[in-house]
Amino acid sequence: MSRASGDVFEYYFAFVLCISNVQPSDNYTRNKISRLVGKLDSPWDISITDRRSLVHMISKFLSKFEGMTSFAMKADNSGVNADTSDISIMQETGTSINISLKRNNCSAKHQRPSNLEGQMNITNYSSAYKTLNDYWFSQLSVYTQFCQIDKDTKLSMLRDFNELYAGHINANQHRKSDLLDFLTSNKIKNKYIVKWENHHLSIYNCAKLNVPDTMYAEVRDNYITLEFFDAECEVILEVTCRLHTAKKDVTKNLSIKYDTKIANMEKVYDLRVI
């Protein structure tokens, strides 16, 4: 949760755990809480009344769990290993409650198209990606920043990378479970998505999804629509992946990544609102 608004949410979640005698489990967590305190003076901080309301809602959500002993805040790169949780809470039973915090959005991943081999556990993609990257860098190297490039050229570049990414997804149906696991942390047990929006918490219980029978990725300019289907061709999961430039500078390794959202969240996971 890199945005200031997300930092504020993350801090108050950790605050409620601490006042409930659930202590940080490691130095990374303790140091991160200290860093987050500095974000509370940002424009995204909230009024005293809203703080009390948020603390009450978080407390109500956590009250359903018994035997919480400690918690750990996850580093931003934990998603590389198919774990999109922001906080893991340890219990006396040895199990953990894994929570992904969202502020006004339901993003699933911010994956880079350059790493599809790792995302799907496939081969023969990286060389094709490098060839396309080198081609587009040769076309764009006269510019120093992406903002100098005209809209049609930039869109054409993004479309080419989407075609490559989607093509390898569709050609590797035997790796559909790997991609599903990467995008949704499907192997992580006891996982919840907690979204804070419009003075309410939406709680999504992320029960494990069934193994899909097929998947299909369709390119729509700078977007990819990716669907996973069961044996009856019913949609298990639908995600949208918007490809965009991640840095302002044009560099030899073009910095592009996806903003990936679950399009049918309410149909996939059990929802309750606090």
How do residues 104-133 score in pLDDT, each as one tens digit? Answer: 776 777 889 999 999 999 998 999 999 999
**Residue 270 maps to a domain:** no
Same domain, 154 and 41: no
What is the number of structural domains in the chain?
Answer: 2
Same domain, 240 and 176: yes
Show the DSSP H helices in the chain as ranges.
Answer: 4-19, 27-37, 48-62, 116-120, 126-140, 151-171, 176-184, 265-268
Residue given tokens 């409650």 in the structure block: 97
Same domain, 117 and 67: no
Residue 45 per-residue DSSP state: -
**Residue 269 maps to a domain:** no
- Counting beta carbons within 10 angstroms of the beta carbon of residue 100, is it exposed (0 to 12), middle (13 to 18) or buried (19 or more)? buried
pLDDT value of position 79: 53
Query: Cα dist. 67→17, 20, 72, 89, 220 in Å?
Result: 12, 11, 15, 10, 48
Same domain, 131 and 74: no
Determine the average pLDDT of the residues in 235-248: 94
Determine the average pLDDT of the residues in 72-92: 79
> Phi and psi (nearest 5°) for 252?
-60, -45
- Contact indicator for 205, 134 with CB cutoff of 8 Å: no
Spatial distance between the Cα atoms of 65 and 193, rounded to a whole number of angstroms: 15
**Residue 175 maps to a domain:** yes
Same domain, 245 and 127: yes
**Residue 198 maps to a domain:** no
**Residue 203 maps to a domain:** no
Last residue of a domain, one of 52, 80, 103: 103
Same domain, 129 and 255: yes
**Residue 192 maps to a domain:** no
**Residue 84 maps to a domain:** yes
Same domain, 67 and 152: no
Cβ partners under 8 Å of residue 257, min gap 6: 110, 111, 112, 113, 243, 244, 246
Same domain, 21 and 123: no
Structural domain of 247: 113-182+210-264
Same domain, 98 and 56: yes
**Tokens representing residue 39 in the block:** 């974000």
CB atoms inside a 10 Å sphere around CB 31: 12
Among 89, 93, 23, 25, residue whose Cα is nearest residue 62? 89
pLDDT tens readout for residues 193-229: 998 888 899 999 888 888 899 999 999 999 999 999 9
Same domain, 249 and 123: yes
**Full-model pTM:** 0.83
CB atoms inside a 10 Å sphere around CB 161: 22
Spatial distance between the Cα atoms of 189 and 211, rounded to a whole number of angstroms: 15
- 41 pLDDT above the threshold of 70: no
Determine the average pLDDT of the residues in 1-17: 76
Residue 74 per-residue DSSP state: P
**Residue 197 maps to a domain:** no
- 43 pLDDT above the threshold of 60: no
- Contact indicator for 98, 205 with CB cutoff of 8 Å: no
